[in-house]
Structure 1
Amino acid sequence: MTILVAVPRRSTVRSSTDARVALAEFLFDEVLTVMREVGLEPVVLDRCPDESTGFAAVVLPGGGDIDPDRYGGRHVPHLYDVNPEQDELDFAFASYAVMSGLPVLGICRGFQILNVLHGGTLVEHLEPTGVEHYDSAALATSVITARLSWHNVRVAEGTRLFQEFGHGDPVVASGHHQGIATLGSGLIASAHAPDGLIEAFEDPSGRVLGVQWHPELTAEGPTRPAPFLALARAVESTADRVG
């Protein structure tokens, strides 16, 4: 059975010289690749579907920063690629998934979209800690070869992610200069970075899952497919309950 998954199209111009934008576009394509590797068929759309379209799930990929006005935040100088059109599309997809009871996976920006949708807030720019969540040198340049950083996260036992990893301390690819300030209502933190920043969450139903890192960048091991496999299992669980 083909599992159709709705994915909102990126509206950023691919010719942008901002390294972060170029990297986000590359990672978007990688997300689609991993989805197909685990048996999910992505359908990229430029408008939000409705309940009659037959989608089994939604994936919200990475990208630029959310307009701070959406969560009562500040417009700080470090913001990049703030795009009201993209915000409208991504929030519409997120709302569609939650209201329809469809499993949804948010990655990096998508993770933050889901948190804000649930009433949570974001840190507009992370101050340095013992964990490098983003490449601060690359952030200050427009070099296309900007790279991500790598660090461990602690995944809580008993969560959907832990079931897929089989252990609780994976190394992940990180490229976010923002993070969760307050967790959205109804969400449960399921992974943290060593500095305490929330790196993943889910809801009690198991249908909402978000990861702050980029699993699609990992070439080998369980870190690459784990969140996508968790989404696929959520689709199966939802189908079993409906059936």
Structure 2
Amino acid sequence: MDKPIIGVTISADENKDRTRELNLKEAYFTSIRRAGGEPVAFPMDTPVDKLSDVLSSMKGVLLSGGGDIDPEVFGGLPHPKVYGIDPARDAVEIALAKYCAKNKYPLLGICRGTQVINVALGGTLYTDITDQLPGALKHPCYPEKPRNYLAHSVMIKISTHLTAITRQSQMKVNSMHHQGIKDLAPDLTLSAIAPDGLIEGVELMFHPFFLGVQWHPECLPESPSDQAIFSAFVRAANPED
């Protein structure tokens, strides 16, 4: 049986000489391969009206981490800590999330990817958690701490896909984000929450696999619960196997 091809979105960063280079942490590809999938870089220059053509050659999409979504997209407050805005990436990923939601196409969002899911379906974000969420935990722990540093716990909601996948009611997770979900999109179900009340996991209940987690499970290869997320994603992308 052929391995299911998983498209992984990537960031385009500007160098000192003002040329753009594509960047993606290898851990995303490693985690997908470990779960039995075949990762490929999603072509980020795809016109929005041609996404279905590209997706026809794939079986699932992973929305990866990266810079911030432009606050103008969701009516957010401007903030000096907002960084890495890429309108082209915003447009493609938001369109991907909408397409996958509507067409029941397997999708996994990680960190920024979870925020994209929420914004695409009508939710909003804190443009800086520390300044805008009273009593917030320290969520942006990297680079002060390593990527696999377990920063805080999350409570996994019962009767969700996430609890069925991880078989946990609580997990310790890493944390590398300064933005997060403020208003949850109407169609999304909250599946994980931090002790300070910040939403850490979302999903569509009546969908084969449409899940977002605010932490970075790809950086935690020794955690069975985190790697189970990738395994479930790849299985959903290859249901005939």
TM-score by length of 2: 0.83
Q: Which residue of 2 aligns with 1:175?
A: 176
Superposed, 1:4-83 pairs within 5 Å as 4-13=5-14, 25=23, 28-46=25-43, 47-48=45-46, 49-51=51-53, 53-83=56-86
Amino acid at match of 2:39: P
The residue number in structure 2 matching 1:108 is: 111
Alpha carbons 1:152, 1:172 under 8 Å: kept: yes
Q: Deviations over 1:88-142 (max 9, x none)?
A: 2322322332233201111000000000000000011012736221128x5xxxx
Question: Structure 2 regions of 5+ residues with no counterpart?
Answer: 17-22
Residue 192 of structure 2 is aligned to residue 195 of structure 1: no
Whichever residue aligns with residue 12 of structure 1, its letter is: D
Q: Would you say the 8 A contact 1:34–1:224 is kept in 2?
A: no
The answer on whether the counterparts of 1:8 and 1:89 sit within 8 Å (CA) in structure 2 is no
Q: Which residue of 2 aligns with 1:142?
A: none
Q: Give the 3 Å change call, closer, same or farther, for CA 222–129 of structure 1 in structure 2.
A: farther
Identity over aligned residues, as a percent? 36
**Residues of 2 paired with 1:45 and 1:227: CA distance?**
20
- 1:76–1:124: 8 Å Cα contact kept in structure 2? yes
Could you say what secondary structure the match of 2:174 adopts? strand
- Which of 1-10 and 76-85 deviates more? 1-10
Secondary structure of the structure 2 residue equivalent to 1:182: coil
C-alpha contact 1:103 1:235 (8 A) present in aligned 2 = yes
| Aligned-residue offset at 1:146 | 6.2
Q: Is the 8 Å Cα contact of residues 221 and 227 (structure 2) preserved in structure 1?
A: no
Q: Distance in 2 between matches of 1:187 and 1:53?
A: 25
Instruction: Decide whether the 8 Å contact of 2:77 with 2:127 is kept in 1.
Output: yes
Distance 2:195 2:231 in 1: 25
SS at match of 2:163: helix
Q: Does 1:129 align with 2:126?
A: no
Q: Is the 8 A contact 1:120 1:185 kept in 2?
A: yes
Match of 1:218 among 217, 220, 232: 220
Q: Deviations over 1:191-242 (max 9, x none)?
A: 10011111001112243100000001113122431321232343355x69xx
Q: Where do 4+ consecutive residues of structure 1 move more than 4 Å?
A: none
Unaligned runs of at least 5 residues, structure 1: 17-24, 139-144
Cα gap change, 1:7/1:130 in structure 2, threshold over 3 Å: closer, same or farther?
Answer: closer
Task: Give yes or no for the alignment of 1:119 onto 2:122.
Answer: yes
State yes or no: 1:165 paired with 2:163: no
TM-score normalised by structure 1 residue count: 0.82
